[in-house]
């Protein structure tokens, strides 16, 4: 492919997009493996660990490009890529991680290198497929995208946590690449070109839609199951009449602060304001599923707690200024279903939250968290703008 052809630029964008999205879990491991080190050692760990991983990944990808020229390997790779894409949409597993926290530079570099080796299978297959056998295109794409992953790992982790739609788009892109990969296998390519040309369009589309549909369904099942588990975290309360208990869901956004202000205004209108029980909750989205294989449970818990603490600062300051008593809850999981189930467990009479938080997509009338809370909540939900 020449630089002037549209196919070159489309393939280049696919390589960059696939590598950045699929490196989200690698970015999480990079950031968390080095976070317990002193600042200077953090930079050294990221630089040395990622540098070695970059060289290793380029070599592996070039080998994969050559191997994919063999019959049937693209069909196998496409199936594997579809499975990887679906897994991308599933949340992290609970329980202890298999690795210990990195307390020194050498162990942090080792964690980053080993994790990248194990977790790069998806990157290698997807990028090799997107390159379509063009080594020059492959090197250009990796040269652009890998430095972004290496030097912006923390930012990538925060963006993907704040805007889950990035992961969904990435999974769909993987499904698209898998569809293209399958129909270009030497074992079926001649038949597709001669008798089933429509597969050139249908294959990628079916791959993208199928991945998002199946992955979203499985993720929702997992989220509902985890949300149900939150019932055990807080003792259930007997039902009562009137406004006695309010749950405020916050994420540090301006709409969330409006929710806090609305709650305080309602409290002031009650005959017995001191009798209103207030609860403040922040739910952190789950990290990628395979992160637990390389980052221990304590490190992940510390990260979730720090992110939740930061998100709750504005709301806690407003409540402290008002001189009211409240209880704090910090949870991990699907925010919408987790908030709804916590309200049920607490015996809350009302959930108050912003219409759109930090994770809302730009085009939605309501944030995804608000929509899912409305869907699952058994009590009224007040949405503050």
Write the DSSP string, 185-217.
STTTHHHHHHH-TTHHHHHHHHHHHHHHHHHHH
DSSP string, 281-325: EEEEPPPBGGGGGTS-HHHHHHHHHHHHHHHHHHHHHHHHHHT--
Q: Pick the closest to residue 366 from 158, 315, 90, 375 (CA basis).
A: 375
Radius of gyration of the chain (CA): 24
Alpha helices in the chain (DSSP H): 6-22, 24-34, 39-67, 73-88, 105-119, 121-131, 135-151, 153-162, 165-183, 189-195, 199-229, 254-269, 297-322, 335-346, 368-376
Query: Angle of helix 73-88 relative to helix 165-183, nearest 10 degrees?
Result: 170
What are the residues facing 328 on neighbouring strands?
Answer: 280
Name the strand (E) or helix (H) holding 332.
Answer: strand 326-332
> At residue 248, what are phi and psi to the nearest 5 degrees?
-105, 120
What are the residues facing 332 on neighbouring strands?
Answer: 284
Are 249 and 377 a contacting pair, CB within 8 Å? no
Q: What 3 state SS string does 78-95 have?
A: HHHHHHHHHHHCCECCCC
Q: Give SS3 for 99.
A: coil
Neighbours of 145 (CB within 10 A): 22
> At residue 187, what are phi and psi to the nearest 5 degrees?
-70, -25
Q: Which residues of the chain have pLDDT under 70?
A: 1-3, 22-28, 31, 35-36, 50, 91-104, 115-122, 146, 148-158, 160-162, 223-242, 288-293, 356-368
What does the alpha-carbon distance between residue 140 and residue 4 come to, in Å, rounded to a whole number? Answer: 15
Residue 290: predicted pLDDT:
64
Give the rounded distance of the alpha carbon of 83 from its chain centre: 17
Residue 366: predicted pLDDT:
42
Ordered structural domains, the chain, with CATH: 6-227 (no CATH), 237-384 (3.40.50.620)
Strand order in the sheet with 245-249: 326-332, 277-284, 245-249, 350-354, 381-384
Q: Give SS3 for 234.
A: coil
Please state the pTM of the whole predicted model: 0.65
Residue 363: predicted pLDDT:
31
What does the alpha-carbon distance between residue 124 and residue 22 come to, in Å, rounded to a whole number? Answer: 10
**Residue located via tokens 């938080």:** 357
Residue 32: predicted pLDDT:
74
């Amino acid at each position: 492919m020449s630089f002037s052809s549209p196919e070159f630029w489309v393939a280049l964008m696919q390589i960059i997009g696939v590598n950045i999205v699929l490196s989200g879990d690698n970015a999480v491991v990079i950031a968390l493996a080095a976070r317990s080190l002193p600042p200077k050692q953090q930079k050294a760990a990221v630089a040395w660990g990622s540098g070695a991983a970059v060289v290793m990944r380029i070599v592996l990808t070039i080998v994969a490009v050559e191997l994919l020229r063999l019959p049937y390997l693209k069909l196998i790779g496409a199936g594997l890529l579809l499975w990887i894409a679906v897994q991308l949409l599933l949340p992290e597993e609970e329980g202890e991680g298999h690795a210990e926290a990195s307390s020194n530079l050498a162990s942090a570099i080792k964690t980053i290198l080993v994790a990248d080796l194990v977790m790069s299978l998806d990157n290698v297959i997807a990028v090799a497929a997107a390159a379509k056998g063009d080594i020059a295109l492959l090197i250009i794409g990796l040269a652009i995208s890998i430095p972004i992953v290496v030097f912006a790992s923390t930012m990538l982790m925060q963006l993907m946590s704040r805007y889950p739609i990035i992961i969904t788009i990435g999974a769909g892109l993987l499904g698209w690449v898998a569809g293209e990969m399958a129909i270009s296998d030497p074992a079926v390519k001649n038949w597709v070109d001669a008798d089933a040309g429509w597969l050139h369009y249908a294959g990628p589309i079916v791959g993208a839609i199928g991945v998002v549909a199946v992955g979203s369904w499985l993720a929702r099942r997992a989220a509902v199951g985890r949300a149900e588990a939150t019932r055990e975290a807080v003792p259930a309360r007997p039902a009562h009449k009137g406004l006695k208990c309010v749950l405020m869901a916050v994420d540090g956004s301006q709409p969330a602060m409006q929710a806090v202000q609305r709650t305080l205004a309602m409290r002031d209108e009650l005959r017995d304001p001191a009798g209103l029980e207030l609860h403040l909750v922040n739910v952190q989205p789950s990290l990628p599923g395979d992160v637990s294989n390389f980052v221990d449970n304590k490190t992940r818990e510390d990260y979730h707690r720090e992110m939740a603490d930061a998100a709750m600062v504005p709301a806690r300051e407003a409540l402290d200024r008002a001189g009211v008593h409240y209880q704090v809850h910090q949870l991990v999981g699907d925010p919408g279903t987790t908030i709804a189930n916590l309200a049920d467990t607490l015996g809350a009479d009302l959930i108050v939250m912003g219409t759109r938080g930090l994770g809302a997509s730009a085009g939605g009338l309501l944030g995804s968290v608000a929509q899912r809370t409305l869907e699952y909540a058994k009590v009224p939900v007040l949405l503050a703008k």
